[in-house]
Structure 1
Amino acid sequence: MKLLIPEGAELEKIASGFRFIEGPVWDDANKFLYFTDIPQNIVYRWSRPEGVSVFRTPSRHANGLTLDGQRRLLACEHGSRTVTRTEQDGTITELALQYDGKRLNSPNDIVVKSDGTLYFTDPPYGLKSVYGNQPEDKELSFQGVYRLDPETAELRLLIDDFDKPNGLAFSPDEQILYVDDSARDHVRAFDVTPTGGLINGRVFAELDPEAGKGVPDGMKVDAAGRLYVAGRGGIWIFSSSGQKIGIIKIPEITANLAWAEDYSHLYITASTSLYRIRLNTRGIPVKHIN
């Protein structure tokens, strides 16, 4: 851990007063960070010059966010139970609403491969009255991991044996997709086939359920292939072979993280506050952005 955290680097709280924030993603072109407050029904953005401002409200209780190749914002929405895209004119396009004629549970987190295809998880966390849904609204008998081709709109179910699939992240070469399971306190790794499928699923890393509050949630990788998992007690760091390196302790329940600015800064969404820490490594820029 001493090699990853520079001498004198400290965890900074840069904004607070939220209810439960999630989904950070850095827009390098405009130099701001998007993130969501799920119960407040808002997508925010933050920049050094302007601080926090509202980008979209209502957000339909958006959770995970990312950007596509045209820098359009993609969102997993609990309230609408869809994956959406915010167009350049501000209109909202629904990309994924149903699978096999049944409504999705509540899309949670999302990543984009460099070929433009979308991968997302669909646990039932959004089936709550606070989001305008009820548990009995669940139509699917499983919690899936999906692949969506934005050109053809084909939605493929890739994996259906998770309990609560949550965060996702590609390895630097996109040959592996990591998906964590919040209910099972572990991260699974899958080999990505040439056609975008997932094979050879295996448990890659396990989190100690006694380590603190929270669950395995959002994930990112750095340029060296290390995996960073928002989880119990803070940010867990694993080597590319799955060995635990250490934990960056965060004083609130930690939901997600994003590389930002020069990609040596890690921005962390944790319950009511947005945090930042500088590391001795670089994260992976969003490679699909031109």
Structure 2
Amino acid sequence: MTIKLDSDFEVIDARFRQLVFPNVHVDKLYTGCRWAEGPAWFAAGRYLVWSDIPNDRMLRFDDTDGSASVFRQPALNTNGHTVDLQGRLVSCEHRGRCVSRTEHDGSRTVLASAYQGKRLNSPNDVVIKSDGSVWFSDPSYGIDSDYEGDAATSETGECAVYRVGTDGGPVERVAGGFVQPNGLAFSPDESLLYIADTGATHIADGPMHIRRFRVGDDGRSLSGGEVFAESSAGLFDGFRLDTQGNLWTSAGDGVHCYASDGTLLGKIRLPEAVANVCFGGPKLNRLFICATTSLYAVYVNARAAGRPTASSAR
């Protein structure tokens, strides 16, 4: 007899049952945000940092005692975050119109703020490759109004995806042809880069999908870009992959889990639209979920995909 799952889970493909537990439910950890985004897990301290963009603050959840507090305010309307190879916080700043890094001493280093002499729009989400390079999306959300940044006109004239070295340097445009590029993540072996396009926010019948690109042997060029998955509920935004290559993505009705072959396996249902997710906890098997006003978490039978060694990565 198949043990019934909690109503938080919806099984669409039988493989999803191997990724969730029948005795587990979703926990609400915090509420009070206007738009929760950009979770990043700090393993050494066992805490999570995330953004509350319109309230111009970053929040911190302490996994050791379950408390939440303000991590930084004001915060330049930061959106997405990640942790680099040295354990430093890397952030996308809407109001700063840049990608910055918080050093171990608390000082701020700007890694990327312009492309070919033109200011970036409003970096949105960011991922670190095993060679230390920083890859980020640059839609216009932070300059569209004063709600999540400062209203301004785009200087680059497009919304694209860029790459920069770990210590800054020239910003490279690695992918274009998007309406609003958003979340991005590498496959476990870094041979693929997935990028969401949430262009339906700006044009009628605009994109609501995730595209998949192949990473060249040089580790920096991209090819392909076919649609990997179309959203059936709201928009895909931020997402992460597990060690098996399954993709856990935000959506309008919760978190959707896709197999590497593009099959929708199942959903984690939530009462709020989800913006972003990340794996955390001591075993990296707890999925933290930023959903509109709240931070949620749920244990799953999957773990965060680790970075391959630089020598084995493409």
With the shorter chain as reference, the TM-score category is over 0.9
2:55 partner amino acid: Q
Q: Which one is further off, 279-288 or 85-94?
A: 279-288
1:191 partner amino acid: R
What is the alpha-carbon distance in structure 2 between the residues aligned to residue 200 and residue 20 of structure 1?
Answer: 33
Q: List structure 1 runs of 4+ shifted beyond 3 angstroms.
A: 285-288
- 2:188 corresponds in structure 1 to 172
The CA deviation at 1:154 is 2.0
- 1:232 corresponds in structure 2 to 252
What is the alpha-carbon distance in structure 2 between the residues aligned to residue 151 and residue 109 of structure 1?
Answer: 18
The CA deviation at 1:130 is 2.6
* 2:42 pairs with 1:27: yes
What is the alpha-carbon distance in structure 2 between the residues aligned to residue 166 and residue 283 of structure 1?
Answer: 20
* 2:296 pairs with 1:275: yes
- 1:186 corresponds in structure 2 to 209
Residues 50-69 of structure 1 deviation map (CA, whole Å, 9 limit, x = unaligned): 51122222110000000111
Confirm or deny: 8 A CA contact 2:189 2:307 kept in the other structure: no
- 1:203 corresponds in structure 2 to 227
Describe the shift of the 1:131–1:269 C-alpha distance in structure 2 as closer, same or farther (beyond 3 A): closer
SS of 1:254's equivalent in the other structure is coil
What is the alpha-carbon distance in structure 1 between the residues aligned to residue 239 and residue 87 of structure 2?
Answer: 20
Confirm or deny: 8 A CA contact 1:166 1:182 kept in the other structure: yes
What is the alpha-carbon distance in structure 2 between the residues aligned to residue 200 and residue 169 of structure 1?
Answer: 16
* 2:243 pairs with 1:223: yes
The CA deviation at 1:40 is 1.1
2:225 partner amino acid: G
* 2:300 pairs with 1:284: no
The CA deviation at 1:285 is 4.0
2:20 partner amino acid: I
* 2:107 pairs with 1:84: no
What is the alpha-carbon distance in structure 1 between the residues aligned to residue 298 and residue 32 of structure 2?
Answer: 19
* 2:267 pairs with 1:243: no
Residues 144-191 of structure 1 deviation map (CA, whole Å, 9 limit, x = unaligned): 100111235121001120011000011010110000111211110111
The CA deviation at 1:287 is 6.2
- 2:13 corresponds in structure 1 to none
* 2:157 pairs with 1:141: yes
Confirm or deny: 8 A CA contact 1:259 1:285 kept in the other structure: no
What is the alpha-carbon distance in structure 1 between the residues aligned to residue 102 and residue 217 of structure 2?
Answer: 29
Confirm or deny: 8 A CA contact 2:190 2:308 kept in the other structure: no
* 2:185 pairs with 1:156: no
Residues 215-254 of structure 1 deviation map (CA, whole Å, 9 limit, x = unaligned): 2100100111001110121111111111111221111110
The CA deviation at 1:263 is 1.3
* 1:29-108 superposed matches below 5 A: 29-48=44-63, 49=65, 51-108=67-124
Confirm or deny: 8 A CA contact 2:210 2:228 kept in the other structure: yes
SS of 2:74's equivalent in the other structure is coil
SS of 1:236's equivalent in the other structure is strand
SS of 2:142's equivalent in the other structure is coil
- 1:122 corresponds in structure 2 to 138
What is the alpha-carbon distance in structure 1 between the residues aligned to residue 213 and residue 148 of structure 2?
Answer: 32
SS of 1:126's equivalent in the other structure is helix
Residues 71-120 of structure 1 deviation map (CA, whole Å, 9 limit, x = unaligned): 11110011111100111121111111111111111000000001100100
Unaligned runs of 5+ in 2: 1-15, 200-206, 310-314
2:266 partner amino acid: G
SS of 1:269's equivalent in the other structure is strand
Confirm or deny: 8 A CA contact 1:263 1:285 kept in the other structure: no
Describe the shift of the 1:131–1:277 C-alpha distance in structure 2 as closer, same or farther (beyond 3 A): closer
The CA deviation at 1:3 is 2.3
1:11 partner amino acid: V
- Superposed CA RMSD in Å reads 1.6
- Normalised by the length of structure 1, the TM-score is 0.94
The CA deviation at 1:30 is 0.9
What is the alpha-carbon distance in structure 2 between the residues aligned to residue 150 and residue 118 of structure 1?
Answer: 6
2:250 partner amino acid: A
